[in-house]
Amino acid sequence: MKAMQKVIVILGQTATGKSALAVKIAKQIKGEIISADSRQVYKGLDIGTGKITKKEMESVPHHLLDVANPKKQFTVVEYKKLAEKKIKEILARGRVPIICGGTGFYIDAITKGIVLPRVPPNQKLRKVLNKKTTEELFDILKILDKKRASNIDSKNKVRLIRAIEIAKTLGKVPKITEVEPLYKFVKIGLYFPAPKLQKKVEKRVREMFEAGLLKEIKKLKSLGVSDERLKKFGFEYYKPTPEKVITKTIQYAKRQMTWFKRDKQIKWFDGKEYKNIEKYIKEKL
């Protein structure tokens, strides 16, 4: 029986150094990086999403950055299709795909062979739901489907609206089915103790403001990206202070870890353990 081809996954909370680690590993194992970040897919969302720069890439090929128009929603179904295509292309070149990011649903869609329901968007319903708070949306979903409500990010407005949309179209949110993955996924999780992570988040946020975050948001608005879309990207709390961004980012990091903790296939490492991570990956390849 032919051995399954290997794909590396580097995941973890925001500000844990995933991108830098992925570049280091890629240079060691002839890898190419596939982003798994639900905001970095959009063009023009650079500073506010902590998107890796050309210089930081160090000539390592990166994929699925800047592939979507920020005026339009980019779905996990679209992401899964593009990511699977990139994995095949990278393997065909004799190189190692490295999925890197912090969007748990994107990573699960690829690594767990998730089959997602294909329900077209209902713009009329979305317009109504967008006026509601995340708490109100979560209550609606609990009425429609308690099971789906139990494993969704209750603070993610986009996902809540989509789940309600699917439930209203199909009668309920269908059970997400999984098929046998085509590849062997080696999952590496980066973590830092909470006090250390908080300091890293604070440092990153202040650097984002210094780098021109508010100008980036202003530019997006000038290009026709609506306030509604900006809110979906989390930019409503970038006005007016770094302190609010820090608080929201730490809350987001906690939700990320809640999601990742459900996956028992992840091998966790302290963010500073580069040598141990490199050794572990080489043993698994």
Q: Which two tokens stand for residue 142?
A: 């609990």
Q: Answer yes or no: is 16 a known binding residue.
A: yes
The residues, ordered by sequence, that sit 6+ positions from 12 with a Cβ below 8 Å of its Cβ are: 18, 102, 189, 190, 191, 256, 260, 271
∠ CA 189-95-273, rounded to 5°: 30
The residues, ordered by sequence, that sit 6+ positions from 201 with a Cβ below 8 Å of its Cβ are: 14, 15, 246, 249, 250, 253
Q: Answer yes or no: is 17 a known binding residue.
A: yes
Q: Answer yes or no: is 49 a known binding residue.
A: no
Q: Identify the bridge partners of residue 270 per DSSP, sorted by sequence position.
A: 191
Q: Answer yes or no: is 19 a known binding residue.
A: yes
Q: Which two tokens stand for residue 65?
A: 């950055």
Distance CA 75, CA 65 (A): 14
The 8-class DSSP code of residue 236 comes to G
Residues 176 and 114 sit within 8 Å (Cβ to Cβ): yes
Distance CA 231, CA 84 (A): 29
Q: Answer yes or no: is 13 a known binding residue.
A: yes
Q: Answer yes or no: is 18 a known binding residue.
A: yes
Binding-site positions for substrate: 14-19
User: Binding site for ATP: what residues are annotated?
Assistant: 12-19
Return binding residues: 12-19
